[in-house]
Amino acid sequence: MVSAAGLCKQVVTSEGMLDILSDVTLEIKAGESVAIVGVSGSGKSTLLGLLAGLDTPSRGSVTLAGQRLELLDEDGRAAVRAGRVGFVFQAFQLLAGMTAQENVMLPLELAGVTDAGARARELLDRVGLGDRVGHYPRQLSGGEQQRVAIARAFAGGPEILFADEPTGNLDSATGARIIEILFELNRERRTTLILVTHDEALAPRCDRRIQLDGGRIVNVARVSS
Amino acid sequence: MTRLKLALRLLRRDWRAGELNVLTAALVIAVAAVSAIGLFSDRMERALSGQTAELVGADLRLASPQPVAAEWLVAARDRNLRVAETLRFPSVVVHGEGLQLASVEAVGAGYPLRGELRTAKVLYGPETVAPGPPAVGIAWVEPRIMQALSIVPGAVIEIGVASFRVERLLTYQPGRGGSFFTLAPRVLIALGDVPRTEVIQPGSRVVYEYQFAGNANALAAYRQWLTPQLAPNHRLQGIGDGDSGAGRALKRANRYLGLTSLLAVILAGVAVAMATRRYGERHYDTAALLRCFGVSQGGVLGLLVPQFLLLGLIAGAIGCLLGWLTQAGIAQLLTGLLPATLPSPGPMPILFAFAAGLLLLAGFALPPLLRLKSIAPLRVLRRDMVPLSPPVLMVYGAGLLAITVLTLRFTGDWLITVSVLAGAGVAALALGLLALALLNVVRRLRSGVGVAWRYGFNNLWRRGRGSLTQLLAFGLALMAMAVIALLRSDLLASWQTELPPDTPNHFAFNILPADVGPLKDYFAARAIPSSGLYPMVRGRLTHINDKPVTRPVTKDDDADESLRRELNLSWSATLPPDNRLTAGPWWDAASGGGVSVETQLAERLGINLADRLTFSIGGQPLTATVASLREVQWDSFHPNFYMIFPPGALDDYPATWLTSFFLAPQQKPLLNDIVRNFPAVTVLEVDQVLGQLRAILQQVGAAVELVLLFVLAAGFVVLFAALASSLDQRIYEGALLRSLGASRRQLRSAQLAEFLLLGLLAGLLAAIGTEIIAYLLYTQAFELEYRFKWQVWLAAPLLGALLIGLAGVIGTRSVLQRSPSGILREL
């Protein structure tokens, strides 16, 4: 489903060239759930950005849904993502001017789904926010906002879901509830899940755990569920 | 289609979230200002042109010493212009033994094309409007003829070999306004009666005058067609051609209205630019998310452009409606002041305003939108990622293009447009540098104030580019308001001084030397203000530097032929009040003789200082050297002269005296008394002309007052847009400070300090800009005398501090009202 070969990412700083990712090679199969773990600054989010085609590598290649991303331009990569990829972000990334339902509707509307409203309501109900559909993000707690984000991520029926520190902004109890929902939906919909987290406790819930350190993969472990 | 629907849905959501308020307000105000000013000035211009046309008697007049080719008149009629023919010639009017030299005007059907003829049955009796020109065999005469020939209505007079029955007194004739100061009294007869008089013979001095009226475009086209065919002895005069008070007022008012619209548009453009910039910045996340969801760059644009297009259309429609209602309201408010039949507004101002709104939006909103298109999807992970700024030319080029097109529309002249824009560019750059310098000064002065105030002062410097933009925007808005307000008061003041309440409304001629003293006493005893008595000697200019003058020279080129070769010469020890020396000194006891010549005449005849002029006075030659040149304000309603000699120079020639004086309505009966006491004196009433001029000035004054409001409204939108541009950052910083323990009071003080200082600096900037721009406008565009505007230096910083301080504190109260945790959680 997603693979990377010899992936490198370098940035120019005032002190010269900085390697953020070095020679990362991995393959993630359809339906698999993978946790990318590591300390802050280990290159987790950069890897996620590259795998999702949000960023371009300095070297190496990424294949997503059978397409070599580094050969495509911005719009080409966007076309690969369209309808196939869902995202959950640490900062939720809900649009402040839209209600919970409208936020969830957005990917459906972009895909031209006619009953976007009903499907959004259904998903919000599924994440336990059936009574908050008309609320704006500022009227929701952090956990509730992340639940809306999860509903939005699953709304388009993605084949693959990228989650970047989904519990990073939440307390542990709320975080646990969010993870519960995320994994439940993932199981139900047989989505490929790539989860970036610094929370080691989340890793055992995935099929595989990839540990990064200093931009390199230092450990790949299969996790028995 | 689906995308379009989605775009509309997104627009609705943005609208509901209040994201579009400032932008919509800016657009609505821009379109409303342009359409209201456009519509109103269109109507006013038509109405004022109508009024001025009445003063001229027609929209266009052509005077010729011979009849013009018949096809010229056919061509006018083909263009749907109305045409009236008149014939003017000097003739002696006879009644019994009495003779009076008169200017006979024979008028054809349709005369007058503009305005109306008014007559009275008895001297100084009530006036009635005449339905048309006199019938065949009938003459209407001016009161002076009645006085001179001692006749009453019903008497029979002879002109040439024909007899006419004097039916009524001619009290008002449109078209005399342009040259009302004509000496020979008029007799009005029908054009068909001219052959009967047998006065017109080959070689007779006759003025054929053709008057035209109709649609402005048709007139312009006709004029363009006619002008190349004119011979040197043809004279074409349109409305506003002359340097009359009304013409000048109209020109200035038009310029003011144009300038006001332009300033309103520029201010609205600034507001639109600031609002879309903020819109763009607040939609980085949306755009990044859309890119994340797989929407292409073109797709992002495809969602944004229709939203803005629709917004432009809706705001344009609301603006036009508001503009139309406003101008209708203004016209309603001014009922009584404006002509009863104010022409309906044409569709062009509406269409133009609508297009102007879209053009502004395209010019100023497109660059931020294009910036959104290029946002990196990675922003969803790294919020510090902002899109690259598009090339400078693109950011400013589109807006500049929009403003250029609009300026060109207002000025109608490339050269003026380029000058205005280049001037504005240099001014903006200079103001920017000045603003930077001011901020630097503030940075040094911040010590010595309390913590909260110091924080506020620091903020100004810390926000750097943001503060500079705000300072410029505030400064520009205040400057535009100040310039327009100043210009308004000075224009109104100049119009008031143009015709003060005691402007003379009567002229008295033929005052014999023996009557001079008694008349002065008469005026003094009854407290009648007069412009003083001036001697007048009739003479003809025959030679310039001993070369004969070939072109006939009179005071008024198209005046009566009987006077064509004669000038009124006068003498004076002092320079008359409405005169201004342009070359050479005024004489004193030491400098001796010479003659002072009016500049326009001097230019026409090529007369320079030290030229020798020879006059023929009653057959006797008189030679004098040109000692000075004078500019004369002919429409001051005071006696004025082309040639003034020093006292004593004309003592050997017979002179009569001339004066003008003011009689209040209740003093009117004194006229009969004056005529009785001074039978040789002839009195000319000019109340009508004066009244018409006043009405025109009053109307343009009202228009000028009202359009000021639009610049103020546009200025306020800029203030608001500039405030909104930094609101998000302020809310965030406020929340952060409050979470760190700052009290509301401290925050409020800091905000107040920042805005007060911002307002003060913006006011200072505005004062500097106003002084420069007002100077240029006064001297280059409005022909007004410029004086140092010290009031601006006081009012602009104070008002700026007050206005921006108040608006800032109110506009950013949400910083204090919302809970810090809520704000921080949203970010």
The 10s digit of each residue's pLDDT in B748-770 is 888 888 888 888 888 988 898 88
| Stretch B530-550: mean pLDDT | 83
pLDDT of A169: 76
Closest CA to B531 of B503, B572, B571, B496: B503
The residue that leads in pLDDT, B459 or B791, is B791
What is the widest separation between alpha-carbon atoms in chain A? 53
Check residue B110 and give left, alpha or beta (phi > 0: left; psi -120 to 50: alpha).
Answer: left
Q: Would you call B587 helix, strand, or coil by DSSP? A: coil
Backbone angles phi, psi at B681, to 5 degrees: -80, 135
Residue B46 has pLDDT above 90, yes or no: no
User: Is B290 near chain A, with CB under 8 Å?
Assistant: yes
Contact between B179 and B556 under an 8 Å Cβ cutoff? The reply is: yes
Mean pLDDT of chain A: 88
Residue B176 has pLDDT above 70, yes or no: no
In this structure, what DSSP letter does residue B378 have?
G
- Beta strands A192-197 and A33-37, pairing class: parallel
A54 and B16 within 8 Å at the Cβ level: the answer is: no
Residue B564 has pLDDT above 60, yes or no: no
| Stretch B194-200: mean pLDDT | 87
**Chain A interface with B: residues with Cβ < 8 Å:** 45, 48-49, 52-55, 74-75, 78-85, 87, 89, 91, 93, 95-98, 102, 106-107, 109-110, 112, 137-138, 142, 156, 164
Q: Give residues with Cβ within 8 angstroms of B2, minimum separation 6.
A: A109, A112
A110 and B298 within 8 Å at the Cβ level: the answer is: no
Q: Which two tokens stand for residue B491?
A: 């224009």
Contact between B293 and A110 under an 8 Å Cβ cutoff? The reply is: yes
Please list the residues that pair with B163 across neighbouring strands. Answer: B158
- At residue B449 the predicted structure's pLDDT band, cuts being 50, 70 and 90, is low
Q: Would you call B388 helix, strand, or coil by DSSP? A: coil
- At residue B432 the predicted structure's pLDDT band, cuts being 50, 70 and 90, is confident
A216 vs A202: CA distance, rounded Å: 20
Burial group, residue B336, by CB count within 10 angstroms (0-12, 13-18, 19+): exposed
- At residue B40 the predicted structure's pLDDT band, cuts being 50, 70 and 90, is confident
When CB atoms are compared, the residue of B286, B294, B377 closest to A79 is B294
When CB atoms are compared, the residue of B19, B291, B297 closest to A97 is B19
A50 vs B621: CA distance, rounded Å: 105
When CB atoms are compared, the residue of A54, A91, A98 closest to B292 is A54
Backbone angles phi, psi at B629, to 5 degrees: -120, 140
pLDDT of B51: 61
Burial group, residue B727, by CB count within 10 angstroms (0-12, 13-18, 19+): middle
When CB atoms are compared, the residue of B295, B383, B826 closest to A138 is B826
Q: Give residues with Cβ within 8 angstroms of B155, minimum separation 6.
A: B95, B149, B165, B166
Structural domains of chain A, ranges and CATH numbers in brackets: 31-56+73-222 (3.40.50.300)
| Stretch B38-61: mean pLDDT | 70
Q: Where are the alpha helices (DSSP H) in B111-186?
A: 143-149
Residue B256 has pLDDT above 80, yes or no: no
The 10s digit of each residue's pLDDT in B267-305 is 888 888 888 888 888 888 888 988 888 888 888 888 888
B814 vs B747: CA distance, rounded Å: 12
pLDDT of B255: 72
Q: Where are the alpha helices (DSSP H) in B552-686?
A: 599-605, 670-677
| Stretch B499-524: mean pLDDT | 84
Closest CA to B43 of B333, B351, B328: B328
B363 vs B402: CA distance, rounded Å: 5
Most confident of B174-183, B301-310, B417-426, B697-706: B301-310
Residue given tokens 């064509």 in the structure block: B564
The 10s digit of each residue's pLDDT in A115-124 is 889 999 999 9
A81 and B294 within 8 Å at the Cβ level: the answer is: yes
| Stretch B654-664: mean pLDDT | 86
Here the contacts of B730-734 (C-beta below 8 Å, separation 24 or greater) are B730/B812, B730/B815, B731/B812, B731/B814, B731/B815, B731/B818, B731/B823, B732/B823, B732/B824, B732/B827, B734/B812, B734/B815, B734/B816, B734/B820, B734/B823
Rg (CA), chain B: 34
The 10s digit of each residue's pLDDT in A59-91 is 999 999 889 998 998 889 988 888 889 998 888
Q: Which two tokens stand for residue B431?
A: 């103001």
Give the relative orientation of helices B744-776 and B465-498 as an angle to the nearest 10 degrees. Answer: 50
- At residue B241 the predicted structure's pLDDT band, cuts being 50, 70 and 90, is low
Closest CA to B302 of B323, B321, B287, B317: B287
B293 and A110 within 8 Å at the Cβ level: the answer is: yes
Among B109-118, B241-250, B422-431, the range scoring the smallest mean pLDDT is B241-250
pLDDT of B342: 64
Residue B172 has pLDDT above 50, yes or no: yes
pLDDT of B556: 44
Residue given tokens 């009302």 in the structure block: B180
- Looking at chain B, the whole-number percentage of residues with pLDDT higher than 90 is 8
| Stretch B111-115: mean pLDDT | 83
- At residue B546 the predicted structure's pLDDT band, cuts being 50, 70 and 90, is confident
Three-point CA angle B146, B147, B153, nearest 5°: 25
pLDDT of B76: 92
pLDDT of B551: 54
User: Is B325 near chain A, with CB under 8 Å?
Assistant: no
Contact between A30 and A192 under an 8 Å Cβ cutoff? The reply is: yes
Residue B460 has pLDDT above 60, yes or no: yes
The dihedral formed by the CA atoms of B443, B449, B450 and B451, expressed in degrees to the nearest 10: 10
Interface with A, mutate which of B20, B281, B380 (most A CBs under 10 A): B380
Q: Which two tokens stand for residue B764?
A: 């200072």
Q: Which of chain A's residues have a Cβ under 8 Å away from the Cβ of B19? A: 97
- At residue B562 the predicted structure's pLDDT band, cuts being 50, 70 and 90, is very low
Please list the residues that pair with B756 across neighbouring strands. Answer: none
Q: Which two tokens stand for residue B199?
A: 């006065």
The 10s digit of each residue's pLDDT in B146-159 is 877 888 889 999 99
Residue A24 has pLDDT above 80, yes or no: yes
B295 and A82 within 8 Å at the Cβ level: the answer is: yes
Say if residue B112 is preceded by a cis peptide, omega within 30 of 0.
Answer: yes
HEC string of A178-214 equals HHHHHHHHHHHHCCEEEEEECCCCCHHHCCEEEEEEC
B715 vs B295: CA distance, rounded Å: 39
Check residue B786 and give left, alpha or beta (phi > 0: left; psi -120 to 50: alpha).
Answer: beta
Domain boundaries, chain B: 2-49+247-497+693-826, 60-238, 531-661
Q: What is the DSSP string of B789-802?
A: -HHHHHHHHHHHHH
The number of beta carbons lying within 10 Å of the beta carbon of residue B227 is 10
| Stretch B101-122: mean pLDDT | 85
Contact between B386 and B283 under an 8 Å Cβ cutoff? The reply is: no
The dihedral formed by the CA atoms of B670, B675, B677 and B681, expressed in degrees to the nearest 10: 130
Q: What is the DSSP string of B65-103?
A: SSPPPHHHHHHHHHTT-EEEEEEEEEEEEEETTEEEEEE
Residue given tokens 């369209």 in the structure block: A82
The 10s digit of each residue's pLDDT in B135-148 is 999 999 988 788 77
Q: Residue B309 half-sphere exposure, CB side, CA atoms within 13 Å?
A: 9
Among A107-116, B511-520, B680-689, the range scoring the smallest mean pLDDT is B680-689
In chain A, count H helices and then E strands: 6, 10
| Stretch A116-135: mean pLDDT | 92
pLDDT of B824: 63
- At residue B560 the predicted structure's pLDDT band, cuts being 50, 70 and 90, is very low
The dihedral formed by the CA atoms of B30, B35, B37 and B41, expressed in degrees to the nearest 10: 160
Contact between B94 and B103 under an 8 Å Cβ cutoff? The reply is: no
Interface with A, mutate which of B19, B20, B292 (most A CBs under 10 A): B292
Which strands, in side-by-side order, build the sheet including A67-68?
A16-28, A2-13, A59-64, A67-68
Q: Which two tokens stand for residue B455?
A: 């924080």
pLDDT of B210: 92
Please list the residues that pair with B548 across neighbouring strands. Answer: B543
Closest CA to B551 of B532, B567, B537, B536: B567
- At residue B563 the predicted structure's pLDDT band, cuts being 50, 70 and 90, is very low
Residue given tokens 């519990």 in the structure block: A167
A78 and B9 within 8 Å at the Cβ level: the answer is: no
User: Is B8 near chain A, with CB under 8 Å?
Assistant: no
A108 vs A127: CA distance, rounded Å: 17
The residue that leads in pLDDT, B682 or B743, is B743
When CB atoms are compared, the residue of A83, A96, A138 closest to B294 is A83
- At residue B181 the predicted structure's pLDDT band, cuts being 50, 70 and 90, is very low
ipTM: 0.86
The residue that leads in pLDDT, B465 or B499, is B465
The 10s digit of each residue's pLDDT in B68-95 is 998 999 999 999 999 999 998 878 888 9
Closest CA to A105 of B383, B303, B4, B293: B293
